[in-house]
Structure 1
């Protein structure tokens, strides 16, 4: 999920954005029968789907076909998605402004976990919770879509390691240490205020505790300094649950540099490529940056609130005059290719950010039914069936299993 200051989701209604011209820069890739077969044959793991927060403000029953969003059961089954990490996202404001909101970070996270459990409760024959790698494999064998949990923003830990255990018991299997603002754990890549110069003292303790507990450390959103400190501290592989490559978006700290990719390889971790156009091409990145500045200037000039009707009208007019430059499947493939070139085939996977990047998704990859199109692109670029299986899910499963193994050894040692 992108920070609210630049997210299309926060500035454009779905209908307004859907009406925008969306001419692909290259011809869309359409799945062949082989691609469709591979998508059904192999476990597909997507480590970042923002369904719980989406349903907080626009509820739909995702056990059935839905009108909005990018995820529901029929589309997941069509696309071959087998393990969809549900993002337990808490806005930074819940930590920054205690007492000003209905929920604190921990309460909000618990609420969103309740929502995921309710999804499984409504369709127990189609969905299954997944606390371990074996759960994912068993659900796959039973024809169920696994819904493991990842916490986006570590704010719900609230400075208490007991809360790490609490959320582990509730099923959280990765934690994104920060989000769009620095928090009590880590500096954020988006934040100008990097007062910790990486991780906080508590954040360093949390990294060690996550290793011991068996929770994957997610370095998406953290600052470069925090990333390299995690690399030094973690005894288990880490993930970037929904990041892409800075090579294609110069100056975007939210994406990973080549140096970081090399360090991630040495750590044994995996980068899960984000599908948002903003993360994929410099054209889309610059469009968002320029638009955000113009919107901010308009708000300040007219002394308006972010949600004022006049602001929304300004945004809609801006979009009409400056159509959004959507990325394509080929841009996603370029990020995968470069990751393989720098780090290797064993260190890349899928972290789409569906339901988290508004309507900025690439042509041909608009929802979870689209994974066969991505598989077709991989086939066309010469990836073997074995390599495709790694990208789709085996690499992430390997990391998850290693994190479980490190935790098991820690338990035995104690």
Structure 2
């Protein structure tokens, strides 16, 4: 099957990693490949955004075994060396506006699902609510499932709900998603009712600091980002964003000034693997398709239907294949962040199972982390720097936030 083939290819050397064939200490390409696989299983790999729960909510599969669909399952994750995937507890933006309790209830059901994954395969998975728990899981040979909430809508205007989700294991919250909500404005939404963070959003950020929940600035508007920087007492993360330098008109990615401010605060941007986050060509593909359809429709007397749109898309994609990014583009984003903000400011937040079929060539599923390590070796990164990118930078931020929580609660 296609997925199995991609998984097996995930461990192959990619000659296109760089124009050179040597890296640290004059290593050959074959030596890079072998060492990359070794490092993937030695060092801690933390991926801060994998959308398994919502994928399984639509169609449940036993991910403790090989699956025919999706980007994640246990065998592929083990092959790739993944230690700590943050399971995205995603709530659709519309749920905030569909009645009290809907967003809250949905988020709880997604957490239930992750708990089921761990309970059904306790020899393979364990829930991890702290950095030490992640390290203990690795030592025990288990995969640590960590929870990150994508969209703060389930808080539903009540800080007691924030406390509830902390107790259930949520360790970061992406404040908004595709629509502005009661906490923050969204980068995807033309409506910006909060002009950044709402007053309640400021309270949420400060309460997250006190509880020990990482503030995630992915998805929010630029104004909301700067409000977070002004109001958070601890480092913040971007769990699955990339550099706007390569996609100038895409607010969902982060500008150089934002990346530098994030780094100055001790935070980390976790690079998103979706092709539309990596290259301008892929980012503009959907708009080009829409424009082509509208142009074609204007020359026809027919009323548009879903079937008509689907047929047109199929023809368009045959004539204009999707311009997949490559591993090199991911490496370019990492290089750029390191250049402007330093090695401590970058990590990985792949968005596996969240960006549909737009993943780059060479990073098609969770078996492919060795390819990324091989590419970093080929570009001259030493092993200590690679360990920071693959997980240690995120762990540093998480520990800093944990320390702040303990200090705030000392004697309470």
Residues 286/41 of structure 1: CA separation in 2 closer, same or farther (3 Å cut) = same
Deviations 1:190-241 (A, max 9, x none): 1101111100111000000000000000000000000011001001110000
Aligned to 1:248: 246
In structure 2, C-alpha distance between the alignment counterparts of 1:195 and 1:206, rounded to whole Å: 17
Aligned to 1:320: 318
In structure 1, C-alpha distance between the alignment counterparts of 2:85 and 2:222, rounded to whole Å: 27
Residues 120/327 of structure 1: CA separation in 2 closer, same or farther (3 Å cut) = same
Deviations 1:257-296 (A, max 9, x none): 0000110111100000000000000110111232245568
In structure 2, C-alpha distance between the alignment counterparts of 1:205 and 1:290, rounded to whole Å: 41
The CA deviation at 1:347 is 0.9
Aligned to 1:131: 129
The aligned runs of 1:174-323 (5 Å cut-off) are 174-294=172-292, 308-323=306-321
Whether contact under 8 Å (1:244, 1:280) holds in the other structure is: yes
In structure 2, C-alpha distance between the alignment counterparts of 1:291 and 1:171, rounded to whole Å: 41
Residues 292/45 of structure 1: CA separation in 2 closer, same or farther (3 Å cut) = farther
Aligned to 2:25: none
The aligned runs of 1:41-52 (5 Å cut-off) are 41-52=42-53
Equivalent position SS for 1:331: helix
The CA deviation at 1:358 is 0.6
In structure 1, C-alpha distance between the alignment counterparts of 2:15 and 2:99, rounded to whole Å: 49
Aligned to 1:86: 87
In structure 2, C-alpha distance between the alignment counterparts of 1:267 and 1:49, rounded to whole Å: 25
- Which protein shows a greater Rg? 2
In structure 2, C-alpha distance between the alignment counterparts of 1:168 and 1:299, rounded to whole Å: 50
Aligned to 1:97: 98
Aligned to 1:152: 150
Aligned to 1:7: none
The CA deviation at 1:395 is 0.1
TM-score scaled by length of structure 1: 0.89
Q: Which runs of 5+ in 1 are unaligned?
A: 1-13, 19-25
The aligned runs of 1:5-16 (5 Å cut-off) are none
Residues 288/228 of structure 1: CA separation in 2 closer, same or farther (3 Å cut) = same
Deviations 1:321-357 (A, max 9, x none): 2100000000000000000001100110000000000
Residue 119 (structure 1) aligned to one of 117, 124, 129: 117
Residues 259/63 of structure 1: CA separation in 2 closer, same or farther (3 Å cut) = same
Q: Which runs of 5+ in 2 are unaligned?
A: 7-13, 18-28
Residues 261/57 of structure 1: CA separation in 2 closer, same or farther (3 Å cut) = same
Q: Which sits farther off after the overlay, 29-38 or 207-216? A: 29-38
In structure 1, C-alpha distance between the alignment counterparts of 2:224 and 2:389, rounded to whole Å: 26
The CA deviation at 1:303 is 6.3
In structure 2, C-alpha distance between the alignment counterparts of 1:304 and 1:124, rounded to whole Å: 51
Alignment of 1:65 onto 2:66: yes
Aligned to 2:78: 77
Equivalent position SS for 2:144: strand
In structure 2, C-alpha distance between the alignment counterparts of 1:304 and 1:163, rounded to whole Å: 44
The CA deviation at 1:309 is 3.6
Whether contact under 8 Å (1:90, 1:153) holds in the other structure is: yes
The CA deviation at 1:298 is 8.2
Whether contact under 8 Å (1:28, 1:364) holds in the other structure is: no
CA RMSD of aligned residues (A): 2.1
